Structure 1
């Protein structure tokens, strides 16, 4: 009769040859967020007060733009608000501006940059706009005659909001990419950096909060910047960063409590990475609770993935699966101690 050697390891019976746990690299963040405070309470309250003032000043800018006939200025304003990360404060006002842009046809003449930005913003917000708006800018070979970098950048971003069957926009991406690549080494450093960044990741595919941090620095160097928008963007960014740090503190406390009871040493510790992942989908302050709950959910999914793939034996996995599916106390009693603790927290 063949015998199987059984050893005990942290209340977990490891069957030799069947269970080979792999150690994961510890989180580089550790307990950093338990004691990290981006600012003092008085600084935070002062930022909130200043942000409130700037917010209303920016609102006035938007309302004034709404009564203006300068549609190019409206498009640039909406684009700036979105890229500086403060557009979520002005949902209704921006929607009214976009509605006005959509109702205007053939108002841009031969301005390719404005036409492309209008197409991008309207498509991004769900408006129906035809790609035929670009036809008048093409020559007999179907290429764009423009050598203006800003126009080509806008034109490169716009087709990424194409829908099925718009092959013309596929060709536009190829053409503008080739043009921009050939021009980049001849541009001034600031513009060359923007071109390279766009070629690497078009606007529509960027993580909004990462783009906000990057673009605030870009916008600050623009001669045409509006100081109220710039300052409000900075205040708002720092206020949200403070909120995110508070969320990570709460998540760290929860994870440490889970580890103290379930001791999941076999699982990856990636709280910050998962929170950042969720942040890419829900970054607004009103979604703080959903962010925390989704982060916990993904962490549990990761824990279970590591449990099945990396630690538990086949027999233990089957019992644990049955316990989860049936929610039967008798099945739970058959689990080893470490799996009982995990089951209690699911």
Structure 2
């Protein structure tokens, strides 16, 4: 029996709801765009905002502002920033490193790999370092050490964080770092975490919720077009590659391709004899 039955084939879509969401999102999008491009905001505040709205692993709405974010990151990357200044704590330095690397900037680090004793109790900084260290490349032994340092100390202080939004983030990260997550699932999780923070931005939160729901409606419509047997599972694979609205056709085509590939794979694994598969292989090769 298929887990989801005919759920995606029979569901009803109300175009009035879609239109209502779209109009509200358009207004909120302009507000958030103004926040991202605000000329008076400083580097630290803007980078924190970019991280919060990040499509890769946070609220999942940064795809609306790709050009604006790239302009900001390029501007900040070209600054001669002195990260040894006391303004830049562990959280901030690790965050900037991660964001630059996520967006393809060749950022390096200047450290001897030794961490101060006081950092062992800095939960927010340790979590930021933990996530940043997962973007290390082969041979970056210092970041290997940073990961070990952050992991062991997060585990050590976790009991004191239980029940708090930060504690929930730490638990989630230790199970699955952001870098290994599926963007839509991470967005769904982080929206609920962000909602618990006292200093949350209500505009960002509302925008993220509405955008998530609207995009989910689109994904369900796409599933309705292709849904049968294991196609829902195959569509989820495609969702892990790209979830943005403008990739709708690509998601559908990739899901169909994976479905066909799955059938062929199953044929080889479970249904064909050696003799039959020899003939089948020759046919595929032709």
- TM-score, length of structure 2 as denominator length: 0.91
Q: Secondary structure at the match of 1:131?
A: coil
> Paired residue for 1:129?
107
Does 2:250 correspond to 1:287?
Answer: no
Corresponding position of 1:106: 82
Aligned equivalents of 1:204 and 1:314: distance in 2? 41
Q: Does 1:272 align with 2:244?
A: no
CA-CA distance at 1:317 after TM superposition: 2.8
1:69/1:293 CA distance change after superposition, 3 Å: closer
Residues 192-250 of structure 1 show CA distances to partners (whole Å, capped at 9, x for unaligned) of 22111111111211111000001111111222222211111111101110011011111
1:239 match: 214
2:225 aligned partner: 250
TM value normalised by structure 1: 0.76
Aligned position for 2:96: 118
- Indicate conservation of the 8 Å contact 1:248/1:275, yes or no: yes
> 1:211, 1:161 → 2: CA distance?
17
For each residue in 1:167-204, what CA deviation from the matched residue of structure 2 results, as whole angstroms up to 9, or x when unmatched? 01100100111111000011241222211111111121
Query: How many aligned residue pairs are there?
Result: 277
Distance in 2, matches of 1:238 and 1:164, equals 39
1:159 and 2:124 are equivalent in the alignment: no
TM-superposition CA deviations, 1:21-79 (whole Å, max 9, x none) = xxxxx321121101123x52211110011111111111111111xx1352210111000
**Structure showing greater Rg:** 1
Q: What is aligned with 2:201?
A: 226
Q: CA deviation at 1:313?
A: 3.5
Deviation, structure 1 residue 107? 5.2
User: Residue by residue, what CA displacement relative to the aligned partner does 1:239-282 show, whole Å, maximum 9, x if unpaired?
Assistant: 11001101111112xx4xxxxxxxxxxxxx32212111110111
Alignment RMSD, CA only?
1.7
2: CA distance, partners of 1:108 / 1:89: 33
Q: Matched residues in 2 for 1:123 and 1:170: separation?
A: 16
> Greater RCO between the two (CA within 8 Å, min separation 6)?
1
Matches within 5 A, 1:37-56: 37=12, 40-56=14-30
- Equivalent of residue 167 in structure 2, options 181, 185, 192: 192
Query: For the residues of structure 2 that align with 1:186 and 1:325, how far apart are their CA atoms?
Result: 60
